[in-house]
Homo-oligomer: A and B are copies of this chain.
Amino acid sequence: MAKKVTSLDVARLAGVSQSAVSRVFTQGASVSPDMSKRVRAAAETLGYRPNALARGLITGRTKIIGLVVAYLDNPFYPDALEKLSTALQAEGYHLLVFTTGKHGVDTDRVISELLDYQVDGIITASITLSGELTRRCAAAGIPVILFNRGIPGSGLAAVTSDNRAGGRKAAEFLLAGGHARIAHITGFAGASTSRDRRAGFEAALDAAGQGLHAVEDGRYDRATAAEATRRLMDRPDPPDAIFVANDHMALAVMDVLRFDLGLKVPEDVSILGYDDVPMAAWPAYDLTTVRQPTRRMVQATVEELMALLETPTRTARSIEIDGPLVVRGSARLPEGQDR
């Protein structure tokens, strides 16, 4: 196992000082072309690369962003993770990933460990932070961005789709389709996405003078959503349309309807989802759904993060990105509307 090669080794070989080597590898430092050439040559022969840890220790910027994510079985998150990673790499940052597990009990421990690594910023996906943690991050001067969650009144930066508008679009489409008994399967009660989607959905139904026919809790979980579906359809007056709070559950709902209950979608029941995950477009499901524009959400997240890193005093923004309703075949079309 070879010893690590340090800037001092390079300096000796090139016959210059250690600081000269450092400057050659530091963006925007004052170095003559000749010096740069000699140092780079020496570094090349020795295989030298700056130690990111030492650099981070002294500059106070590690170029590491902590990502906290609860689970990855909803395909929306791997997709976002991949795009986030790519976008951050382009800015010279890298992702230190922490998972909290479904139950998310140890979020506090996890964030503490993140702080130990002196991350420059934190992105949380599908995670809600305690006020205590929020304060600790603020005290450490570390910006936090909530991805696909918001905590109203917390003053934390957040990037979501426009969930209220999305819920509204879902309601309007189902109303236009002439549905009479419209039900909803919610996500997780503690999640802003779930609350907002429901609020927008319900408001639009109310505005049309038609209330929500039934509600069940799906907890953003396949099995729970499947149970909820059975309960809904067991009623004496089963719904003729269900708006499901995300695609991940909506696919499970369609499975139950078609394979357990022998019903047809959308002839017997219309299904609407939320997210537009890749699978929603597959012909086996062909799910009508409200798109969350992952690419733009990621882009907004990275931009906001970079802005906060640049200007820590900046007030954090809460960004909502509008997404279209993607009309496919899982919900009855409004009269006269083609796809």
Q: Name the distance in Å between A44's Cβ and chain B's nearest Cβ.
A: 13
Q: Which of A71, A116, A255 has the most CB of B within 10 A?
A: A116
Count residues of A near B (Cβ-Cβ below 8 Å). 57
**Which chain B positions have C-beta within 8 A of A53?**
53, 56-57, 62, 117-118
* Total copies of this chain within the assembly: 2
**Which chain B positions have C-beta within 8 A of A47?**
136, 139
Q: Is A299 positioned at the interface, with any CB of B under 8 Å from its CB?
A: no
Among B1, B52, B140, point to the contact of A2 (Cβ < 8 A): B140
In the assembly, what is the distance between CA of A140 and CA of B259, in Å?
55
Pick out which of these stretches binds chain B: A35-43, A91-99, A288-296: A91-99
Q: Is A26 positioned at the interface, with any CB of B under 8 Å from its CB?
A: no
Q: State whether A85 and B99 are in contact (beta carbons under 8 Å apart), knowing that A139-B47, A283-B259 are contacts in the complex.
A: yes
**Which chain B positions have C-beta within 8 A of A165?**
none
Closest B residue, CB atoms, query A115: B49
**Which chain B positions have C-beta within 8 A of A56?**
53
Interface residues of A in 92-130 (CB under 8 A from B): 94-99, 101, 110, 112-113, 115-118
In the A-B complex, the 9 residue pairs with the closest CB atoms: A1-B141, A78-B78, A259-B283, A72-B78, A52-B116, A85-B99, A72-B82, A284-B284, A52-B117
